[in-house]
Amino acid sequence: MRSVVLALGGTVAGLTLLLSFKSHSAAPPGDPVAAAGMPATQGSPRPQGSPRPSAPAARSRATAGSSAAAATRTVTGDVDSTAYGPMQVQLTITGQKITKATVVQRTDSGEKSDQIDSFAIPRLIGETLAAQSGRIDAVSGATYTSSGYITSLQSALDKAAA
């Protein structure tokens, strides 16, 4: 059984999301040291941003998948009530690696919510992918439109480097 901790913290520049993925028995959810840890992948870069002891943390539960050791599982975090509204992160885990991170329940509509959707979510997804597949400099895919860029992985990389 694994646990997912989603820590949200405001920064001067904007919002930084920190995703932590750890063994359930290592530390209780919300532990700031555990929240600063990353997936147990050798040489993985750590996400940017700093954990806050006061950051809300969500206990998680496995919602789908089989019991096979290297099987692909989906883990969905509890709905987390944040200053920007309720949020929920879903991870797809193959063996020991996060292969996908998505926000399955977005924030309420509104100005601040738009900010979190367009800035934090692609950044979270991008950092998760980067942590799992090593450093990625650029992303190739079907040509996105100018607005499609906002949610693209390339946009996440550009923001991480800015």
Partner 1 sequence: MTAPAELRLPVSAPPRERLRHAEHVMGTVVSIDIPAAAARVLPEVLRWLHWVDATFSPYRDDSDVSRFGRGELSLAQCAPEFAEVLIECAIIRDQSDGYFTTMPGGRFDPSGLVKGWAIERAAAILNAAGFAGHCVNGGGDIQCSGEPQAGRPWRVGVTDPLRPGELAAVVSGRDFAVATSGTAERGAHIFNPHTGRAATGLAGITVVGPRLTAADAYATAAMAMGDAAREWAEHLDGYEAFATTTDGDTWQTSRFRARLS
User: Which residues lie near partner 1 (CB under 8 A)?
Assistant: 92, 99-102, 125, 129, 133-146, 148-149, 152-155, 157-158, 161-162
Which is nearer to partner 1, 62 or 136 (by Cβ)?
136
Q: Rounded to the nearest whole angstrom, what is the least distance from the CB of residue 138 to partner 1 in the complex?
A: 5
- DSSP codes, 21-42: EEETTTS-TT-HHHHH---S-T
Q: Rounded to the nearest whole angstrom, what is the least distance from the CB of residue 148 to partner 1 in the complex?
A: 5
Residue 97, both tokens: 């690696």
DSSP 8-class letter at 110:
S
Residue 118, both tokens: 């367009």
Which is nearer to partner 1, 18 or 98 (by Cβ)?
98
Q: Rounded to the nearest whole angstrom, what is the least distance from the CB of residue 134 to partner 1 in the complex?
A: 7
The rounded distance, in Å, linking the Cα atoms of 39 and 51 is 15
The rounded distance, in Å, linking the Cα atoms of 129 and 93 is 12
Which is nearer to partner 1, 15 or 157 (by Cβ)?
157
Residue 155, both tokens: 């946009």
Which is nearer to partner 1, 59 or 97 (by Cβ)?
97
Q: Rounded to the nearest whole angstrom, what is the least distance from the CB of residue 88 to partner 1 in the complex?
A: 15
